[in-house]
Structure 1
Amino acid sequence: MNAYRTACFLFFTLLLGMSPSISRAQPLETVSIQLKWQHSFQFAGYYAAIEKGFYREEGLDVRLVEHDINGKHYIQSVTDGDSEYGTADMGLLLSFAEGAPVVWLSQIFQHSPLVLLTLSQSSIFSPYELIGKKVAFDSNDAGNAPIQMLFDQTLGPNSNLVENVPLDYNLSRMIRGEIDASSAYLSDQPYALKQLGYDVNVINPRNFGIDFYGDNLFTSRSELINHPDRVKKMIRASLKGWNYALDHPEEIIDLILSKYNTQHHSRDHLRYEANVTDRMILRDQTPLGKLDPQRVEPIIAAYHKLRLLKTQDMPDGLFYEMSKARIELTREEREWLLNHPKINLVMGEGLEPIVIKEPNGTIVGIIPDFLDYLGEIIGQKLTLITEPDLKRTHQRLQQDEIFGVAVTLDSPQRRKAFKFTDPYYQTQLIVFTNKNHADELHTRNDLNGKRVAVPEGHPSLSNYLAGLDDVTIVHAETPEAQLKLLQYGEVDAIVGYANYHYLIQAYLYTNLVPAFTTQHKFPIYIGIKPEHAPLVTILNKAIATLGERKRFEIISSWLNMEKPRLPSGHSINLTNSERQYLNALKKIRVAVQTDRLPYEGIDRQGNYQGIVADYIDLFAKRLQIAVEVVPTENYQQSLLALSQGRCDIIAAQPISSQVTRQFLTTTPYLISPRVFAVHRSLPVVSDFNEIAQGKIGIVADSADQHLLAEIYPQLALVPVTNTDQGLQQVASNKLDAFVDVLGSISYSIQKQALSSVKIGGAIPRDEQQTIVVSDKVAALVPILNKVISHTSAQDRKEIMTRWISVTYDNGINHKMLFKLAGVMLLLLGFMFYRQNLIRRNNTALMIAHKELEEKNRELNLLSMTDKLTGLLNRHAIDPIIKKEISRNKRSNNPVSLLIIDLDHFKLINDTYGHAAGDKVLTTIAQALSDMIRGTDSLARWGGEEFLLVATDTRILKATALAEKVRQTIENLNIDAMTITASIGVAEFHPDETFHQWYERCDKALYLAKDSGRNRVKVAQLPQSENVSPLSISNLLQLTWSNKFCSGHDEIDEQHMQLFSLANDLIDAFLMRRDATLIDEKLLQLSQKNSQHFRQEEQLLRRIHYPDVSQHCAEHELMEKKLDELVASYQQNRSDYSDLIHFISMDLISAHLLSIDNHYYPYLIDPVSQGKQA
């Protein structure tokens, strides 16, 4: 035994000695991060990742390298290999464009802290006051682009109105008055100046709509190629460090003070930095590390405008997240992709919807969608270029920039020219015919004796017909010509591809249908030039991820692919006696409930509609028998009508022991979950028993009433007339809950726009609908069972999706649903046992089970559209509003809200009826949809109220839009009814919530109502709004300040008069004053303005102003522009937004308050000059 133990000990000792992974820890990989500045809280996340061991956990030993101001540029330090990683700003984009091999890994600062600083005592609050002043900023550094863009946007392109002096961050220069302003970091210099006793004014580019990204983490292309796993580890650990640093700022400040305080900052200074850093990162609004392409695009456009970039194209290969492959690639494959950031493929046009070139040059279609998917998988965009014909396609292929052809069929000749990928798409041959011949064509042999058209240049289609003895082949020049021959009856059939579905729909050839699909399939490949052979293996890996579901998703989004229509009765094997019975019966009298939508109901025109109606219509068509509707009000009346012989069947009846004992029934064809609705303010309900002690509403004399009394005998049930009434009482807190089937509740919530009601959960007993049959027509039972059993899942899905949209509590307790699922499985197991005895029932029940599972999965889907008008509803527009608010706070993009309420709408309903009211709503919805921009969002907010979210729209433009909406509604001629609307308008301000924004707009709406209706009112500003005389696009009124005075009495008096006239015009426009008054004010403004310009020009010549010629030319242009806009407005009085914008922004703010400032210094003796003028 001792010898055995000794041997084992020696064996394991030897094993441990041979295994480095066991005997000692793996050595850490040493890398460094080049910082873009000196140590400060700006880099807190990297300090935290080092000190808390996050890098060590990933196997990394990370060193931080401070930036040497007199040394290399921090980006060059990484590209030269001095450091593997670095921190940078948007300047990284320009470095990449200039050829630097860098990769943008993660975005840390969502906003740039770069600002302009002035001393408070200077009274310089905006770029306009910097004209003629000295400003320190680095015009050659791409990182200072926000400052350049600020001047470009406010003072004009390539503006030389400010004197640019070198930047050295020496604050004493500003204190001594050597410079008037300096670029600075919001997290640093403002605090330093404050400590020296100087208050500062911050001119933030974000306040002028210029919102650049701040600090990021980047690496070199070689690091990504050679160490892709290390890159992932670095990103993970760094983000973990940043999260820790932002959660524990005091701990990191202690760490900086003890280890990294090379700038000798105080604790308070670091706290200030921490606070600003947190505001620049904004984790609560944007996930840490996220880079949004939509924010990069305007930044690229800004660089292009400053001529720092040659194009506005999104750079390929720069952004790690956008170029990260979703498949495993070898080192060589990754390197090849990084060295080929732009992959161009070519193909011919004219194969819609395989490829479609839109008028604006955008290329869309099936192939572009496939290429987009493959590009996402390999982490690199595949760019498709199209040519109008085969000759030009071959010519383009010869160019070096083209890597291959996007679409090719297999052939020996093509195999010699290209390296083929695996097939990524295939098309089948389909035979199409017109509806008159659909019952005759099911196989290839059925084409004998027919005239069949094929397109020229497609030998595969002609070959398909070879061997048929008596077929006449007609050649058409194009697929379009081929379809035309069939549409006009010149041929009996055509042979084509799957894309013919799209062409049939596009040309509205509604008479054409697919007869049958052949077994002939043609694979589609990508052909790659031999010199780019590595791309083939890369693409094949991506193609391997293309499952059938994804292929179907891409193709079906373009092709309306219906299954070939079967001949009448083809799939229902009725016996001769059953067919004779139906022929003798001639029609079936069906008892239907008049007000039970979405299941069934009768509209004002007497049309039978709803889910059950669609089923009955489907059954009747397949049995080729007429249906006569017998209206009833509820289940009890339907059963009475059947007993009295007034109907043959009841269209839908919930199964119960009473019904099955007394009447003949078919197999169930419709299963609906029973659910309960509660008030939205109620917390998540995990079990119906939690609310069972309250008042529970139920439709009187319904199957649900008897069932609930049986399952929950303790319930205090409150009968209501119908579902609508029950949900209204839940909304008003008169009921604690209301129970009905899922479809009825979701339909009613949507119809009534009850945003305060939600579906709380399910009742563990579903409603199974069956057809009840009179014993006088007992022979119908087996016939109906056959047609029910042949109802496909697709048939059922199409019927349900036409009627059901569900609003469900997102906080639903899934544990309760799992219990329900268990109960259902037991129930279905028992039913399955029974169906083994009654085989003909099996299909319908299994389909019902699948539908039930599908509905349970869909319970959390929100209803997206208003059933009546087709507009978005409250639930659908809510995320749009949230997105626009977020965009405003992130990028300063303006957004305005319009609440549109129809005047005296109740009177319309009471006078003309609800059908007329519905027509008014649908007509107005269509009219408004037609007039708004594609970027705006229109929703029915409830009842007669609409909500319009106008993106990128300031209040002046929004008010003009509101006036246009008001006039559009007033000018509608709807059955001789007079329809008007009152509208409230409000622009969103960053300091408010949506609720506050909506409240302001709603108050404006009611002010419009109280002022006589049929008018537009603008909301008051929020209390927190900081009024600035230059923010007129936000304020609607111009505000004069003594700071605008030149000191020349007459000039100042003229400026104030023009101010006053401009305010009068704004008021006249927005308050819809009389057109005559507006024209008078416009004439006064034009005359006063011209008079002012002439006198000002005389003054400028007298004081020898050097730019007098340029100033006079500016006057001439402005007068001409004003005359043009006035004339345009007087021709079309519904649109005055451009005129208001010109008067307020260009004439008053830009010219009188800014350009005129240039000559003020030349007014040496303002008093005497005023007397002489």
Structure 2
Amino acid sequence: MKLIFFVLIISKLVFAVEHKEVNLQQSWFDQFQFAGYYMAKEKGFYEEEGLNVNIRPFNFGVDVSKEVSLGNADFGIGRETLILDYLNKYNNIVSLYALFQNAPLVLLSKQDLNINSIKDFENKKLMATIDDANQVSINAMLKSQHINLNNITYLKHTHNINDLIEDNTDIISAYLSKAPFILNNKNIPFHVYNPSDYGFDMYSDFLFTNNELENTSPEVVKSFRNASLRGWEYAFSNIEETVDFILKRYNSQKLSKDELIFEAQELKKLAYYQNNSLGNLDNAKLQRIVDLYAVMGYIKNSNTRDIKSFNYKTTRHGFTQDELSFLKNKNNFSMCIQTNQYPYQKLENNEFSGIISKYKLLFETLLEKRINIVPVENENIAQKYLQENKCDFATFLKKEDYNIIYSKNYLNLPLVLLTKDDNSFIYDFEQLINKKILILNSQVNVNFLKAQYPEVNFLSITDKDQVLNQIQNDKVYGLITDIPSAIHFLKEQTIGSIHIGGKFEENVTLSFGLNQDNTVLSRILNKLIISITKNQQDKIVSDYSSLNYKEVVNYDLIFKIVGISTLFIIFLIILIQREKTFKRKIIKLNESLKVTIKNEVDLNREKDEYIFKQAKLASMGEMIANIAHQWKQPLNRINVSNQVILTLVDDEKPTDISIVRKHINDIENNIFYMSDTINDFSGFFHPNKTMNLFNVNDAISKAHTLIKAKITDIDFNIDIENHINLKNYENELIQVVMVLLDNSIFKFKNANKQDKKIDVYTQELDSYIEINVVDNGGGISSEIIDRIFEPYFSTKFKDKGVGIGLYMAKMLIEESMSGKILVETQDEYTHFKITLPRLLENN
């Protein structure tokens, strides 16, 4: 059996992820200084990475560096002196990032003591802990001003700013994020002596771990670092919410809200000091700090430790010493590729393209080495080249050769079904029983699928050019392949009647093959694969997965609207010729109506490149159908008026002109109504995404207006206060509400029920509002409720939908509008709950 580069993984059940237990040791008592870690835990960022994090509180006497070095704590938060600990004591610690690009430690003095510069410090009392007095930035600042430190009286630190206020000390070391708040509140003027003003800016609040954890569990280290940075980004972007959470859960120091907000604002300045990126750790700056320690005499003479090994960013993704030596001795790498397997790999006119080419570029960046491509005709030659060391690693290989080892999977892709447009959407292989299904030999393990689903007639094929013709001519039901390959097929079709008509839980995965003796390179590739972020993976795949998706649109209805409008225009032209006095006005209205209808039809025929815009087209089709429902009555009234006018005109007897005018006015009013309907919602389809302050009741009323034509026997109730406003994306909220209402209406069609009800109501929270949509249409089965937000999952078939409405609603609410959408069901009731912030910042 051949198992090539794409290895099929059958996974029918969703297994619970076992979370890794890790510990984080704080360096001080609870305050905003650790808010990023609190929020990463509270918001589930750690949990998403498979981590269960225990945040250990600080106690006097805890040596954080020692705890992490010995492995008693997995991660720690270190002060400025962590660099000294690394150089002099604990050579196995490694810093994952530096949160503060400039240390918050400064010296303070009251203005009324006539201490106007550092030179006035002599013969004064300085309160500082031993650590503070020995921190290089403070001492370097003092020595740079030629201060004799022996002429300063050092006092043991009480960590109480009142000692400065009450003149128990002249100068005190303190943090910019805390002491100035107290002095300002007491209206006490003070001087700040900041080492950064004298050229001594230091890193502070390092997140660090030890080399053992980095080497044995690189995924844990990477995940903890990424989740922690996400936590800090959230904390700094949502300061008030974070402060409220600290007050509730982590306020052991009994700090006030104003005090915590002041601390947050000051720490945010230090974290983004000189516009550095969050967590930046630069080797050049580290070396300057080391040089300063050396000049100040803090480094032991025997220490020759390279500071680059202290920086996680330059430890080369957790490479061991033998892996680093391997890379040092390797000038470049070579990769065997097959030249015509697009969209994965293709070599044409010496230009390498495809998904694998993107990974090649990414690996070259991470390794800082060139990867040369070695073209081969097939996988057999690639295997031969690997065994002869003519290339270092390759793609599209047989798994039956035991001389080949394989890297970690670096990409998972779901299997999809290409089929004709008029076929029902498929989400399980059981739906394909007794159907002929094509499978390309180079992509999916045919024998494995045949064994799993013997009642499906799987047919292997090698000629890609015949695939679309066989589907189009009904020789087969469809083709099983992966998403990028499916998109490539659809781009090549000329008829346009084939689409993605199914998505399965089964996946294919991508990996590299290597010579079995090349274990060091295998470990290096695995660590590179681990280091690739989800955003990087998504970008690579999206470059080769863009398609103008097709959507089921009721074109018959559109043609009827266009046809009726055309007949109406002809009638208006005849009427204008007979009634010269109304010519200019009716022509203007006629042209306006013509342009409006043309714009709407053009919008419905546009094709987008992403699945999200496919959902937009679905909503547009629904909205046009609803508009058409609203147009029926005015069109009927126009037709009646037309008949009356024609009868009067054809009658040889004198005609009362007032009767003609009345019916013409009726026609005009109905035209205005139809035009207003279009204008009210034309902005809904506008491609520009504009945030605005809008009234929630008005937005939901607009959605109701467009969909109410379907609600003939349903008791629809809106209970929303008129004063509730949101600053967010109004059109997207309208679109989501329409999806939910349409979903409820569809359920009523299949329910034998008399008292049909849909309720929409709100609940106001502190900085959020809840929008609730409840129907009694029979509820949702417990077997499918967890899947209703998945793309392409639907209980509807053919022209009823393909399962992207609720998926689109979830993406709009959670990704675009920074909210949350949940669904609950009990007995006959279904309850959708939308939570949105009142004011969304426009980043």
TM-score by length of 2: 0.37
Question: Which of these two proteins has the greater Rg computed from alpha carbons?
Answer: 1
Instruction: Tell me which of the two structures has the higher relative contact order, counting C-alpha pairs closer than 8 angstroms and 6 or more residues apart.
Output: 2
Q: TM-score w.r.t. structure 1 length?
A: 0.27
